[in-house]
Structure 1
């Protein structure tokens, strides 16, 4: 059973406090350092397991770090606290980045990351809410997380609390029709505390999104479903913080985060084969060298 790491949880609280009392230079420095650490851990985890989805893990890292490090109202020492914000990683195949972020924030000791995908490890290839604190719902089959997030947001409204619900989606995942049913419902219900974040790296398994089923104009599509749309740099922590500001229209917020698959490792960046390719030992060393410069 994974339990909280009090020291890391205290660091997490300090970072969130730095953001809230307007210390942007220090807060942004710490967020950047956290992202660098998470990327290194992702490379190590996938190297140990000899499996994973390194390209998507590296593209979504800055989004996850900004959310857990500075935005979400959550407590790693009390992951099931009533009234907490809810986070759902709909692109559940990028669990390594989520686990590394959760560990960095104190949900469980970082030593557990070494067991990623090992037999009997709670850190499965897809997140499991019964095994990992901080995971709100099991994900993996694409197109499931967004509808669950709409349900969470409706539940928060019924309870009368002020919890936010944030769901992170892969852009290739948006080819699943269930996402657009969820978008239609969220817009109709005016779920202003619901955020749908698209990790827009423009690659999916085997091809580019626009060569598979074209998504653009993506912003206009969300807007047509009644969403307040914000397009931003998905690797700029300051821009991401601004994108997670409260809704100004009373409608749910779609954050289209422009990212690079494999961000931070030059030979992985924007290369379709790295959706689930595993680096060999020489490539691992090269990746670590780039990430520690």
Structure 2
């Protein structure tokens, strides 16, 4: 069953503070972002996973976005950021009033997220295959600093795993036991190249802990994301409806 965090019923948008917005508000927030080149399927496929992470898993808030002990979330699937922007707005990282300017020349909400323009955005992303290697580097950096509390989360799409850079990152992370590293893979069956055994096996053979779940089931996503995995990186393969052609 999908869980939501409901805001007070019957209250007009102008009277509803950002931090009271819930999952059921995301479609409305996403509808504020208009214009061409929205990559709608890339965004809607991530809505549930991004929400569960920010609502129930990540130890980060607008007040702790610069804390060295915060959890890091890296949106590798940055070519479809509308669900990400909507969630950041619902959680108070950015004003809802920014959403209608999405993609305009003077808006900080670009078609790819920019870490220099938005609070809480860890990486500038959108080029496929970059996010997971950057997440490996982030986890290595935290290890080198002796910081054991923060976790690093990266959200990738199944088609991104066609990029060779990801496979190097997967193999390296498993070999060195990067337990701080977590990958959420949105599987909407848009990858060009199939893998024997599927996506989960690709991570498993590299030494990762792996869980496969319904990517629309919030409780299942939460349980998969919080599964213990001592000494190993962890991957959650979140299956959603296939991308329409």
Structure 1 and Structure 2 fold alike (TM over 0.5): yes
**Pairwise CA distance, 1:142:** 0.4
Structure 1 residue 49 displacement after superposition: 2.0
TM superposition shift of 1:249: 4.1
Give 1:236's aligned residue: 217
In structure 2, what is the equivalent of residue 71 of structure 1? 57
Q: Which secondary structure state, in structure 1, belongs to the residue aligned with residue 73 of structure 2?
A: strand
Separation in structure 1 between the aligned mates of residue 220 and residue 6 of structure 2, nearest angstrom: 12
SS in 1 for 2:201: helix
Matched, 1:256 2:244: no
Q: Which residue of structure 2 aligns with residue 28 of structure 1?
A: 3
Q: Which residue number in structure 1 is paired with residue 195 of structure 2?
A: 215
Equivalent residue number for residue 120 of structure 2:
134
Query: What is the aligned partner in structure 1 of residue 107 from structure 2?
Result: 121
Q: 2:112, 2:136 → 1: CA distance?
A: 21
Q: Secondary structure at the match of 2:22?
A: helix
Corresponding residue of 1:112: 98
Deviation by residue 1:24-47 (Cα, 9 ceiling, x = unmatched): x9x9331798333212322331xx
Partner of 2:18: none
Is the CA contact (8 Å cut-off) linking 1:75 and 1:81 kept in structure 2? no
- Unaligned runs of 5+ residues in structure 1 are 1-24, 204-208, 262-269, 273-293
Q: How many residues align?
A: 230
Shift of 1:132: 0.7
* In 2, Cα distance between equivalents of 1:251 and 1:106: 32
Say whether the 8 Å CA contact 1:77–1:106 is kept in structure 2. no
Structure 1 residue 230: Cα displacement: 0.4
3-state DSSP of counterpart to 1:77: helix
What SS does structure 1 have at the residue aligned with 2:23?
helix
Matches within 5 A, 1:1-293: 28-30=3-5, 34-45=22-33, 48-161=34-147, 162-203=149-190, 209=191, 212-217=192-197, 218-260=199-241, 270-272=243-245
Gaps of 5+ in 2: 8-20
C-alpha contact (below 8 Å) 2:5/2:22 kept by paired residues: yes
Q: Distance in 1 between matches of 2:206 and 2:85?
A: 32
Please give the alpha-carbon distance, in whole angstroms, between the structure 1 residues aligned to 2:130 and 2:229. 27
1:197 and 1:257 in contact (8 A); partners too = yes
Distance, in Å, in 1 between the alignment partners of 2:28 and 2:110 is: 19
Contact 1:42–1:54 (8 Å) recurs in 2: no
Query: Normalising by structure 1, what TM-score?
Result: 0.74
| Displacement after TM superposition at 1:122 (Å) | 0.5
Please give the alpha-carbon distance, in whole angstroms, between the structure 2 residues aligned to 1:153 and 1:37: 33
More helix by share: 1
Give TM-score, length-normalised by structure 2.
0.88
Q: Is the 8 A contact 1:39 1:61 kept in 2?
A: no
